[in-house]
A and B are shown apart, each in its own frame.
Chain A
């Protein structure tokens, strides 16, 4: 029985060099509290919004001469496992991870007079994708570029 226990321990130690299960908590930046989010109303000035929320993660030029401030953060627990085995020419590894990659985000859109026009909550990727698509539209449209 004693030998069996020792073998199990040695087996686990041996496996630990090539197999691992991962549980990783990640925090990136600080979230916008609901209380502040709910206090945002159309018509607020840029100064008022900056006083409330601080510096945004990104500032984006939008369509119609609007400007968007994007605040983003991440709170996630990611899990997964990885396997690594030696092969003749080196080593091979496989990793599976269930990651909530997207960051939470809020977007504030300001009009030409720097007044808050609209707000939205979502994923950072969505807001940046929209900005990228719009930029590519701008570049593909000669009329818009000449404006």
Chain B
């Protein structure tokens, strides 16, 4: 039986995989820190580019979404069994504008850099940093 051990080990090693993916460019925290209430929409767009999503908020104005998503997967094929762990997190910024197209609120969450590879049985949400929107 010991003679099969190296072969089994080699098969197991050969069936590991890791992959990563991303959507949109990462958001630059230095640029985001310059967003302030009162900034007109055209300056926001000049700074961050075209938003990924625009929501019209009745006659109160609108909200622009800027988003970058990153994902990492790691897994293992063991003959008939696939074990994998996939983690997806986003950098997300919402800029709220009033009816006059001036910034009223900015909300940001930068989590994409915390995306990680993990073993299939690992819980990635057990240790999270303090949430903050500024």
Instruction: Using CB atoms and an 8 Å cutoff, list the residues of chain A in contact with chain B.
Output: 5, 9, 12-13, 15-16, 19-33, 36, 46-47, 50-57, 59-61, 65, 67, 73, 75, 112
Contacts and interface: CB of A to CB of B under 8 A. Distances in A.
B63 interface: yes
A52 B79 contact: no
A25 B82 contact: no
B80 A15 contact: yes
Contacts, number: 121
Given A27-B87, A29-B111, A46-B96, A54 B80 contact: no
B93 to A, nearest CB: 6
Interface of B: 4, 11, 55-60, 63, 65, 75, 77, 79-90, 92-94, 96, 105-109, 111, 118, 120-125, 128, 131-134
A76 to B, nearest CB: 10
A16 B14 CA distance: 14
A22 B78 CA distance: 10
B81 A20 contact: yes
B55 A59 contact: yes
Contacts of A51: 132-134
B89 A33 contact: no
Given A20-B81, A24-B85, A47 B105 contact: yes
Of A22, A33, A112, the most chain B CB neighbours within 10 A belong to A22
Contact of A23 (B4, B82, B109): B82
B117 to A, nearest CB: 12
A65 B122 CA distance: 43
B92 A57 contact: yes
Contacts of A12: 79-80
Nearest to B111: A30
B63 A59 contact: yes
Contacts of B82: 20-24
Nearest to A67: B57
B55 A23 contact: no
A27 B125 contact: yes
Given A16-B77, A20-B77, A59-B55, A26 B86 contact: yes
